[in-house]
Amino acid sequence: MNAPKRLRVKLFVDNPEAVAVEKIVPVFQRWIQRGAIKNELLIDVADYKHVHHGPGILLIAHEGDYAYQFNDGRVGLSYTLKQHDSATLEEALSTALQRVLFAAQLVHKESQLKGLRIALDTIQVSLLDRLQYPHDGETIEQAQAAITALLASTADEVEVTAVEADSREPISFTVKSAKSLEHLIAPAEVNAG
């Protein structure tokens, strides 16, 4: 399948009560100052924690945005890929997964966020390109097959399930793996920060 113009991957926080949301802002600001994420131009931090089920705390970058977000009533760490040259859904998803998983590793290393646990075995994938990915049965089947093929080749026991939603919403999938998906991080990313 062709790559969507935008897609978001979200990891879920197991214990959001462990850290006050306000602590995320200086952490993201420090990532900008340190250049903590290699191969990504980090630009600014925006605080939308006041928006109910909203975008939360955004770390805006050139190619994509990182967020400690509250969409759908579940706290998570997400990456929205918005500028890329990927030709296929699989390439775009692979890039976004590597980036969000690396960001999760950084979060786990942050002393100010000690105790915050991000699950690395469950991911939500949202295809935000509604023109190219209309919310219909055929598109959902094709996208689900592509996502399953990509992850099944790199992880054991992966289950990809379409999220039931209003047809006006973007297509989303929940991906559950028997093991952590940390191994999907590219070696070049691991050395960053």
**Confidence at residue 184, expressed as pLDDT on a 0 to 100 scale:** 67
CB 64 within 8 A of CB 81: yes
Measured CA to CA, the distance from residue 146 to residue 70 in angstroms comes to 27
Which of 127, 121, 119 lies closest to 96, judged by CA? 127
Give every CB contact of residue 129 below 8 A, 6+ residues apart in sequence. 4, 5, 6, 7, 170
Measured CA to CA, the distance from residue 22 to residue 150 in angstroms comes to 36
Beta bridge partners of 127: 7, 171
CB 176 within 8 A of CB 163: no
- Catalogue the E-assigned strands of the chain: 7-13, 42-48, 56-61, 64-69, 76-81, 118-127, 158-162, 171-177
Long-range contacts of 28-32 (CB under 8 A, 24+ apart): 28/57, 28/59, 28/66, 28/68, 31/59, 31/106, 31/193, 32/59
Higher per-residue pLDDT: 52 or 35:
35
| Residue extents of the structural domains in the chain | 7-188
Q: Is the pLDDT at 139 greater than 90, yes or no?
A: yes
CA triple 108-67-131, angle to 5 deg: 135
Choice among 62-66, 148-152, 187-191 with the minimum mean pLDDT: 187-191
* Percentage of the chain exceeding pLDDT 70: 92
Please write the tens of the pLDDT for every residue from 49-61. 888 787 899 999 9
Report the predicted TM-score, pTM, of the whole model to 2 decimal places.
0.90
Give the pLDDT band (50/70/90) at residue 155.
Answer: low
Give the mean pLDDT of 124-135: 93
Q: Residue 38 is inside which H or E element, if any?
A: none
Choice among 60-64, 70-74, 75-79, 107-111 with the minimum mean pLDDT: 70-74
Give the mean pLDDT of 43-48: 95
